[in-house]
Amino acid sequence: MILAKILVGAASTLGLAAAIAFHQGAVILKVQEHRADGEHFSLILPGAMFPLAAKLVPDQKLREIPEEAREMLPAMEVVAQELRRLPDAVLVEVRGRNEYVRVEKRGGLLIVDADDGEDRVYLSVPLRSVGGVLREMREANDR
């Protein structure tokens, strides 16, 4: 009986930890090679992890970005916030003969889907996580 209570407590704790970790959504990365023996790689990580990880990066490293990008950090942060409020839409779509790139806002996600004829890459990132990372970068550059 005691073992059952311990197992229920442990399972509940793990479930709660997973719910907290994924409350911002998940970052999903999929890469697939089109060759017959091509590799397929998938990675799913909690979106909340990225702003927290950015807090752990030394300010000096967050300042090592090109000046042009540093100047754009406040604007990029606002864009990430505003995208969350907008309705779903395709932001960019470019198609070639054997390749394409599509960037869209769907729900609270920024989705990039690209194929160059040899590889396909799919990336889905919660906008809340994007904003959090940009905020950390801006604050590090303001200090």
User: Structure pTM?
Assistant: 0.73
Q: How far apart are CA 78 and CA 131, in angstroms?
A: 8
Name the band, by pLDDT with cuts 50, 70 and 90, for residue 10: low
Percentage of the chain with pLDDT > 70? 83
Q: Which two tokens stand for residue 120?
A: 């396909």
Query: What was the pLDDT predicted at 137?
Result: 85
pLDDT at position 88 over 90: yes
Query: What was the pLDDT predicted at 102?
Result: 96
Domain boundaries, given as residue ranges, for the chain: 24-142
100-115 as b/e: b if 16+ CB within 10 A: eebebbeeebbbbbeb
Query: What was the pLDDT predicted at 50?
Result: 84
